[in-house]
């Protein structure tokens, strides 16, 4: 339910700013068998046109909390599932469209968003862990690698600055 709420808030923000986008319906029948079985590529939630930049793919990640402190230094980080990051890179390679994650948390009312490209997740992650909740492996990326967007005041230009 958290992801659906995050996508709804994200979509409302895009509409409010009149950004051109395509919302990608997620049912299995809308993604070719090849992508599911052969290469296991990730599917974005949105394809967004950014003026002067072009098209980007965005996967919205709604979590209970967007920011975690998972290492001994207690550095603020976002968490991206290892599988999601690797599958996003596959999408990026096949379609030649930059793939970004937009992560927000229920704790901020989905007002603060942390954006990071899939390739940067792999480059910038300085900690890999395993979720105690579901056992999934994840990358932890320090916040200073993210582009932060406060949807109450910021627009997409924050990604390209």
- Parse the chain into domains and list their residue ranges: 2-160
Instruction: Identify whether the C-beta of residue 81 lies closer than 8 Å to the C-beta of residue 63.
Output: no
CA dihedral 62, 128, 93, 100 (to 10 degrees): 30
3-7, 42-46, 93-97, 138-142: segment of lowest average pLDDT: 3-7
Phi, psi of 90 (to 5 degrees): -60, -45
Of 40, 51, 53, 145, the residue nearest 103 (C-alpha): 145
Element (H, E) at 97: none
Helices (H) and strands (E) in the chain, counts: 5, 9
CATH classification of 2-160 is 3.30.365.10, yes or no?
A: no
pTM exceeding 0.85? yes
pLDDT for res 29:
75
Provide φ and ψ at 49, rounded to 5°. Answer: -95, 125
- How far apart (Å, rounded) are the C-alpha atoms in residues 66 and 27? 26
Residue pLDDT, tens place only, 31-84? 777 777 766 778 899 999 988 889 999 999 999 889 988 777 788 899 999 999
């Amino acid at each position: 339910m958290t992801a659906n709420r995050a996508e709804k808030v994200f979509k409302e923000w895009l509409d409010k700013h009149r950004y051109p986008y395509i919302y990608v319906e997620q049912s299995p029948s809308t993604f070719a068998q090849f992508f599911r079985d052969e290469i296991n590529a990730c599917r974005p939630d949105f394809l967004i046109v950014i003026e002067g930049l072009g098209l980007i793919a965005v996967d919205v990640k709604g979590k209970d909390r967007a920011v975690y402190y998972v290492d001994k230094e207690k550095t603020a980080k976002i968490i991206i599932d290892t599988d999601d990051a690797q599958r996003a890179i596959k999408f990026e390679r096949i379609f030649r469209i930059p793939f970004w994650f937009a992560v927000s948390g229920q704790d901020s009312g989905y007002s603060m968003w942390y954006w990071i490209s899939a390739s940067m997740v792999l480059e910038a992650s300085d900690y890999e862990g395993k979720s105690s909740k579901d056992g999934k492996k994840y990358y932890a990326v320090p916040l200073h690698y993210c582009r932060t967007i406060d949807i109450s005041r910021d627009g997409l230009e924050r990604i390209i600055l």
